[in-house]
């Protein structure tokens, strides 16, 4: 038997890319590849890229430049670029970095085995089509290896919202939902291999409308309720949601589905109605706040997370103040915030831009407020009992680390194994985690 070939994958961006990287690795397994942790060991390097952050493409080209010496030392080394930058840049990647052997978009990675075989014969291969076939259907069954206690599961891809700042509709395509039966099969398979918590993924995951076994489209809430019937699946989460797709049934599920965790990431992006309209977000400040009130009425202990863009084109000081007032009113437990950066081809890229120094100052002010709110929420957990899914050993002898119902990292002294669920009384709040005592 020949020695296995070695695959190194570097993943950028969101949880969906983490899931995609797992599936790419699995797709290449039948071609004789096993994953390794260092590019120096690899026979093939894949960069699974994200196009959301500032200068994403340039960062990929910079990363590729670091591999020139390695390619010179190992002429047979294959280098590939996958994901959203691959979709957006296409042949430009090959032109700027001729050492790249293959480029594959996020909807075509089920074709990686054939592409890798062609690259092995010296061909340069590009596939950035939006194929008609379902990539998940074409992928081979997932290997039966033991898994950790948590896993991502993509149920929906693409976006039809066309926010003025976002490239996702162009790099991931239109909204598509996986059929219910395939999601349930994959979920059961994950649970059989040791997974206790599944996070359902989608660009607009709450727009899920997969075909059910009854021939009708199922909502995300109905899918969650069906998943909750899997005996050894203890926890369900989902991300990322759009406010316009948060329907009554999904709100109700947060109150009546015990396995659905009290954590919701619900991006708003701005607190200014004028800027929201310019962003093409199709919701306003008041509708978002009313939605938060309804969700909290269904699940009073829910932790709300959000996204914010500061310095969007034409944002005034008053627009920014509206965002700060919204943050003060919502009281976020977590949030992610960014300075606006242009994405060629999107409507906002052509508009008058806010000065960089103004963006920087606004971001610092917003992040300070968010940090205060996050810390206040963490501090309020001291003295409370929470559920914790133990995930791994900590740095200290006898210490284990897990995630609470609200997605806080929790450290504790226990001999419970990864995958165990524990009741923990929180005794201390640190900058980025909690500490607790196991009580059951």
Binding residue numbers for [4Fe-4S] cluster: 14, 50, 84, 159, 163, 166
Sign of CA dihedral 206, 209, 211, 213: positive
The secondary structure of residue 383, as a DSSP letter, is T
The secondary structure of residue 409, as a DSSP letter, is E
- Cβ atoms of 413 and 398 within 8 Å: the answer is yes
DSSP string, 183-229: HHHHHHHHHHTT--EEEEE-TTGGG--PBPTTSSBPPHHHHHHHHTT
Ranges of beta strands (E only) in 119-277 are 125-127, 150-154, 156-157, 176-177, 197-201, 235-239, 263-265
Known binding-site residue numbers: 14, 50, 84, 159, 163, 166
The strand order across the sheet containing 303-310 reads 263-265, 303-310, 334-339
For 24, the token pair is 């790419």
Rounded CA gap, 71 and 250, in Å? 50
SS3 assignment, position 94: helix
The secondary structure of residue 77, as a DSSP letter, is -
């Amino acid at each position: 038997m020949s020695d296995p070939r070695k695959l190194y994958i570097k993943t950028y961006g969101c949880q969906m890319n983490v899931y995609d990287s797992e599936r790419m690795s699995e797709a290449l397994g039948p071609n004789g590849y096993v994953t390794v942790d260092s590019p120096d060991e690899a026979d093939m390097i894949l960069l699974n890229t994200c196009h959301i952050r500032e200068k994403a493409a340039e960062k990929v080209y910079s990363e590729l430049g670091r591999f020139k010496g390695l390619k010179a030392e190992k002429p047979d080394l294959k280098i590939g670029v996958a994901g959203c930058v691959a979709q957006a840049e296409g042949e430009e990647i090959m032109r700027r970095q001729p050492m790249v052997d293959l480029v594959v978009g996020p909807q075509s990675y089920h074709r990686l085995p054939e592409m890798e075989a062609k690259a092995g014969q010296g061909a340069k291969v590009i596939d950035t089509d939006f194929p008609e076939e379902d990539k998940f259907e074409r992928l081979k069954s997932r290997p039966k290896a033991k898994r950790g206690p948590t896993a991502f599961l993509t149920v929906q891809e693409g976006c039809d919202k066309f926010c003025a700042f976002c490239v996702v509709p162009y790099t991931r395509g239109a909204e598509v939902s996986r059929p219910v039966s395939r999601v349930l099969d994959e979920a059961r398979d994950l649970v059989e291999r040791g997974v206790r918590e599944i996070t359902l993924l989608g660009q607009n995951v709450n727009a899920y409308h997969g075909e059910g076994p009854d021939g009708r489209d199922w909502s995300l809430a109905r899918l969650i309720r069906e998943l909750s019937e899997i005996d050894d699946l203890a926890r369900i989460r989902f991300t990322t949601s759009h406010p316009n797709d948060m329907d009554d049934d999904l709100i109700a599920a947060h109150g009546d589905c015990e396995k659905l965790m009290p954590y919701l990431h619900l991006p708003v992006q701005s607190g200014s109605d004028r800027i929201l309209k310019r962003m093409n977000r199709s919701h306003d400040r008041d509708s978002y706040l009313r939605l938060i009130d309804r969700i909290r009425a269904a699940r009073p202990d829910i932790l709300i997370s959000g996204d914010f863009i500061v310095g969007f084109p034409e944002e005034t000081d008053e627009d920014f103040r509206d965002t700060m007032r919204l943050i003060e009113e919502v009281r976020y437990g977590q949030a992610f915030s960014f300075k606006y950066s242009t994405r060629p081809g999107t409507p906002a890229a052509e508009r008058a831009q806010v000065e960089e120094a103004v963006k920087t100052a606004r971001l610092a002010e917003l992040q300070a407020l968010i940090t205060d709110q996050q810390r206040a929420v963490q501090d309020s957990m001291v003295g409370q009992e929470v559920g914790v899914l133990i995930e791994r050993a900590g740095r200290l002898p006898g210490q284990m680390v897990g995630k609470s119902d609200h997605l806080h990292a929790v450290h504790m002294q226990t001999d419970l194994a990864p995958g165990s669920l524990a009741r923990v009384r929180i005794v201390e709040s640190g900058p980025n985690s909690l500490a607790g005592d196991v009580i059951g």
